[in-house]
Structure 1
């Protein structure tokens, strides 16, 4: 059933208006409320208490209507864990269109206001900064929830989303421990994503990049994935080409991430057939 759930969620994201999951961040009000019920780890435990009724609900609908309710509930919970950015669709369209027509000031303003992206230094062009954001969001919105769903079921995916939402709210007492656990939960998926990028891009150089970075515990998963993506596209981990010479870098990166997703889909389908 796991592959069927992932397939249904993918079809919903692809062919329905719910490209970003539910229209609202359903879990956000709970995180905002429960994240203040104590200090640090106690607040985080309060956030995680939502998993108890969800687990009881999953247990209660087992075998009802030949498992149809379980399937629907799994799909609904996994949709809760999808981010609201649509990184493989509309997320970068406005910024890319402005950059393509030569309006770099507008592109920079759009990137800052809509994506929260500002080039780190003069050597980093805006498309490269947006590229890093695109890869990191794809990891956090798609790869990490799918990984923990495969490993721990819908509760694992929901736990990741709760952690990520709490980590994005620095005023919450639970923000610091949530950020620590979120970093730990994305550690393995980030490296698996890097491996899939090697399979669909420049294999040797991407694999060498991954091997050099894989043991660094403190490196954020999004940063590791973005370096692997640059290596997969350009074959270079150091030199960043001028933006004028790489106007299509964002489109190429989006296509690269789609191929990486399809690689995961094929592997999961094969494992499902093996039982």
Structure 2
């Protein structure tokens, strides 16, 4: 568990201190080439063109990682395994810097610049919505995809889990997904939804701890969070409700101190910065819980 905490901290720090290195290393073109090769060489009507075809695509790279993970557990008192974990987590994280993308949208001064920045945040086409509510959901969805999903499965399964999540996301949503047959892509989306569900639930719990518990609980319950539905819509609803409550509390505090509403700055989207603040606080909760597990292990 301590190795997991160290790997997580190192990957986070490296990503922020060396963004050029992160951008250079986090290249996934090989996976798209692999998917296209499979599609051109595997026959019609086989396993590849079913919902289980995604297993065919994921098995070779994940098996290689699993073998390295197992082989590096013991040598050099686990140092090899730690370095391997840091490398795989760093590679699977992101790939883009969420802070930079959010700040680009929040500080945009004209609609076209904001729309271009929103496309970078959403990873979507030029018709992506840029209203406050949709962008709040985009921040949390991006946080799930870039940070929390990778981190959870790294905590549970080590490097194997981190790469599993990243490749599943690529197979379901990236340009590489265009190389997949329709049924195979549907299977990839189901797999990603399964991987997302526990991460979304734990993000919601962290939000309840760092924000307004009653607001989060109500939004979670009203939008199907208590069910086993894999659509994940509750995370967006919880995000909107949390940010709305935070902004209302900030406005009330400002009114008490100054005696009027807070000033509106042209081009500013306070919802986005508030959403990013909640995301960071949620991540700190995850890290604090992980640190507690490490301390408990040392005490025992």
Alignment length (residue pairs):
259
The equivalent residue for 1:25 is 28
Partner of 2:282: 260
Distance 1:135 1:114 in 2: 11
C-alpha offsets along residues 27-59 of structure 1, whole Å, 9 cap, x if unaligned?
634652465243124531222222222222222
CA contact (8 A) 1:108 1:126 kept: no
| Partner residue in 2 for 1:146 | 151
Alignment of 1:114-129 (within 5 A): 115=122, 116=124, 118=127, 126-129=131-134
Deviates more, 1:4-13 or 1:132-141: 4-13
The CA distance in 2 between the partners of 1:184 and 1:105, in whole Å, is 36
Instruction: Give ranges in structure 2 of 5+ residues lacking alignment.
Output: 43-47, 247-263
Q: Hey, which bits of structure 1, 4+ residues long, moved more than 6 A?
A: none
2:97 pairs with 86, 92, 99, which one?
86
Q: CA distance change for structure 1 residues 19 and 135 in 2, over 3 Å: closer, same or farther?
A: farther
Match of 2:62 in 1: 51
For residue 131 of structure 1, report the CA deviation from its aligned partner.
1.9
1:225 corresponds to which residue? 235
Partner of 1:104: 111
Residue of structure 2 equivalent to 1:172: 180
In structure 2, the CA distance between the partners of 1:131 and 1:61, relative to structure 1 (3 Å rule), is same
- Tell me whether 1:189 sits opposite 2:199 in the alignment: yes
1:33-72, aligned counterparts within 5 Å? 33=36, 36=39, 37=42, 38-49=48-59, 50-72=61-83
Cα distance between partner residues in 2 of 1:58 and 1:109: 40
- 2:297 matches 1:271: no
Instruction: Select between 25-34 and 5-14 the one with higher mean Cα deviation.
Output: 25-34
Mapped contact 1:58–1:70 kept (Cα < 8 A): yes
Once structures 1 and 2 are overlaid, which stretch shifts more, 212-221 or 187-196? Answer: 212-221
Change (3 A) 1:13 1:83: same
TM-score (norm 1): 0.83
Equivalent residue, structure 1, for 2:165? 160
- For the pair shown, the structure with the greater C-alpha radius of gyration is 2
Distance 1:114 1:197, change over 3 A: closer
CA distance in 1, matches of 2:179, 2:33: 15
The answer to which structure has the higher helix fraction is 2
Q: Cα RMSD over matched residues?
A: 2.6
Counterpart Cα distance in 1 of 2:38 and 2:54:
6
The answer to whether the Cα contact below 8 Å between 1:62 and 1:70 also exists between their aligned partners in 2 is yes
